[in-house]
Each structure stands twice: as structure tokens, then as C-alpha cells.
């Protein structure tokens, strides 16, 4: 290979690497440099979908979604904790035991879904994506400065289905997961991470599914930078000081 050709190959590999990274993560500048990166996050229930696609019908397995969703959340908790974040898990028991928390979670989740339906990666830096006040109230309620949302999807196809799907343009096998981190103080989307796992056609056991879940949890968190309290900029002022300051300003 000539030097020029080798250069092109290297440049291609570098470009591919950069493109892959760009596709797998997007963060605000503040999140990247640590000034707005949270130190503690509330991990909301994952939106998990486990689907076994058959030749004649696609069966969404609700019980599998609940079970493996739980596994995914546990792995996310471990991964984020290992990176130095204080993680508050918002699990089913906790939500259903506390009507106020349930209200905040449901409202925040809907705000998040709405936000993501409008999300375009190129606009992340404009700080235009917000979950609304409910997200800030939820963070306040749980004493965290960030909210972590995640989705996980695993689609398993029977061996024949993959070929069939090729003919009819149907769904094929695959697994992917997202992790989004929202600033608890502002309600703004700060970071988006994406991970995929290859799924081979054919029946899968629960152990196989657990492996996919582990891979997805690892791939959607491995680019998350560690919690860094030293970089965070927080100016603490008491509520009373702020209120008195406003009263003084109005008297002038």
C-alpha cells in the first residue's frame, strides 16, 4: 500500500470513529466540561420492549419487558455508581407507595417523551430541550441534581423470519438502548448516549437476553464521564437572601 493510500485509510478510520462517536453520544458543553454535569441522578424506570417476532405475528412480551427492564435498570445503577454518581433508583415499589412521587414521575416521563419527540441532536447545544417544571420538582423532591431516563429495545427473530422480513420489509432482530440525562436544576436535556448490540436470528434463552441487557447497559453508559464535583459551578444562596434581595430591589 502506498503512503497516500495508507493515509486515506487512516483518515477513513478516524472519520468513521468520529462519526460513530457522534452517533453514539451528544452532550451540552456544560455537561462535557463538568460545569452542569450532575453529581447525583434519579434513575427512572426504563422503557423496555422485548419482542419476539415470528413469521405470522409479532409478540410483545410484556412480562419479559418488565423483567429485563428491571435487570437493565440494576445494571445502569451499578454503572453510574461506579462512575461516582449518587444514584437514587425510582423503582415500582417506591413510585406506587408515594402518590406525590407517582405524580411527578408520570408527569416528568410524559414531558420527557414530548421533549424527545422534538429532539434533534444538532440543537442539543442550544439548550432548547426541556422536560418542564415537573422534572425540576421531581429532582427537588428526590434531592438529586439530575434525572436519568433510559429506553431499551430487544427484538428477537426466528431464523426464517429474518429472510422473510427481507422480502416484505418487516422488522428484523436487533437491540439498542438510550440513556438521557436531564439537569435537575433547569430541566434541560444535557446528554444523550446510545448503545447497540447485535442479535443473531433464532430462539433465545433468558440467559441470552440477560447478556444482551448487560451489553446494552454497558454500551449506553461507557461514554458517560464520571461525576466531577470539582468542576461543577453552583452558587448557593439561601431562599431568604434571594427574597430579601428582591424586596430591596423593588424599593429602589
Partner 1 sequence: MPNLRRLHKLWLAAALAAPLTAAATTGQYAQMPIHDDEKHLLATADDLESYFNAHGLLLKDDRVLALVRRVGHSLRPQPTDDYVVYEFYVLRDPSPNAFALPNGSIYVHTGMLARLHDEDELAALLAHEITHVAGHHGLVDHRATKKASIAGLVLGGMSVWGGAIAIGLQASVFGFSRDLEQEADDHAASTLRNSRYDPHALPDLLDILGRDYDGLDPRVPTIWSTHPEIRARAETSRALVANLPRRERTVDGFEDVVSGLRAMTVQDYIRDEYPQTALALAEDSVARHPDDARTVQLLGDAWAGMGAQRRTDPSELTKSDKKQNRKDHRKTREQRLADELATEEGRTAYAENLSHAQDAYARALAIDPHFAAAHRGLAEVYEQQQRAPDAAREYLLYVRAAPDAEDRSIVVGRLKALTVKLQETTQ
Q: What does each C-alpha distance from 86 to 35, 38, 47, 147, 221 come to in angstroms?
A: 17, 9, 22, 11, 15
Q: What does each C-alpha distance from 247 to 156, 237, 239, 252 come to in angstroms?
A: 62, 15, 12, 9
Which one, 73 or 221, has the nearer CB to partner 1? 73
Q: Which stretch binds partner 1 (CB under 8 A): 27-35, 110-118, 206-214, 218-226?
A: 110-118
Q: Which of 34, 132, 174, 201 binds partner 1 (CB under 8 A)?
A: 132
Per-residue string for binding with partner 1, 193-232, x by CB under 8 A? ----------------------------------------
Minimum CB–partner distance for residue 38 and partner 1 (Å): 16
> Does residue number 95 form part of the binding site for partner 1 (CB under 8 A)?
yes
Q: Which of 130, 161, 204, 219 binds partner 1 (CB under 8 A)?
A: 130
3-state secondary structure (DSSP) of residue 122: helix
> Does residue number 56 form part of the binding site for partner 1 (CB under 8 A)?
yes
> Does residue number 129 form part of the binding site for partner 1 (CB under 8 A)?
yes
CA angle 64, 95, 86 (to 5 degrees): 90
> Does residue number 78 form part of the binding site for partner 1 (CB under 8 A)?
no
> Does residue number 69 form part of the binding site for partner 1 (CB under 8 A)?
yes
Cite the beta strand spans of the chain per DSSP E.
Answer: 25-27, 40-43, 47-53, 58-60, 86-89, 146-157, 174-183, 189-197
Beta bridge partners of 176: 153, 196
Cell (9 digits) for 222: 461507557
Sign of the four-CA dihedral 58, 64, 66, 68: negative
Residue ranges binding partner 1 (CB under 8 A): 45, 47, 49, 56-63, 65-66, 69, 92, 95-96, 99, 101-102, 105-107, 109-111, 113-118, 128-130, 132-134, 136-137, 140-141, 151, 153, 185, 237, 239, 242-243, 245-247, 249-250, 252
Amino acid at each position: 500500500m502506498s503512503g497516500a493510500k495508507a493515509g486515506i485509510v487512516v483518515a477513513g478510520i478516524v472519520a468513521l470513529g468520529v462519526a460513530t462517536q457522534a452517533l453514539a453520544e451528544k452532550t451540552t458543553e456544560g455537561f462535557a466540561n463538568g460545569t452542569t454535569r450532575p453529581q447525583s441522578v434519579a434513575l427512572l424506570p426504563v422503557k423496555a420492549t422485548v419482542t419476539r417476532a415470528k413469521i405470522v405475528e409479532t409478540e410483545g412480551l410484556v412480562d419479559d419487558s418488565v423483567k429485563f427492564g428491571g435487570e437493565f435498570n440494576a445494571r445502569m445503577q451499578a454503572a453510574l455508581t461506579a462512575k461516582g454518581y449518587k444514584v437514587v433508583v425510582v423503582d415500582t415499589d417506591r413510585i406506587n407507595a408515594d402518590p406525590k412521587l407517582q405524580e411527578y414521575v408520570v408527569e416528568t416521563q410524559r414531558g420527557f417523551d414530548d421533549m424527545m419527540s422534538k429532539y434533534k441532536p444538532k440543537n442539543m447545544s442550544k439548550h432548547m430541550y426541556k422536560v418542564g417544571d415537573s422534572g425540576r420538582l421531581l429532582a427537588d423532591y428526590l434531592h438529586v441534581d439530575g434525572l436519568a431516563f433510559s429506553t431499551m429495545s430487544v427484538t428477537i427473530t426466528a431464523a426464517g423470519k429474518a429472510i422473510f422480513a427481507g422480502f416484505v420489509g418487516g422488522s428484523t432482530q436487533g437491540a439498542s438502548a438510550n440513556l438521557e440525562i436531564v439537569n435537575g436544576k433547569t430541566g434541560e436535556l444535557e446528554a444523550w448516549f446510545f448503545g447497540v448490540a447485535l442479535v443473531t436470528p433464532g430462539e433465545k434463552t433468558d440467559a441470552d437476553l440477560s447478556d444482551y441487557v448487560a451489553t446494552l447497559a454497558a454500551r449506553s453508559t461507557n461514554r458517560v464521564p464520571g461525576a466531577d464535583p470539582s468542576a461543577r459551578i453552583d452558587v448557593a444562596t439561601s431562599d431568604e437572601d434571594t427574597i430579601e434581595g428582591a424586596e430591596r430591589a423593588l424599593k429602589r
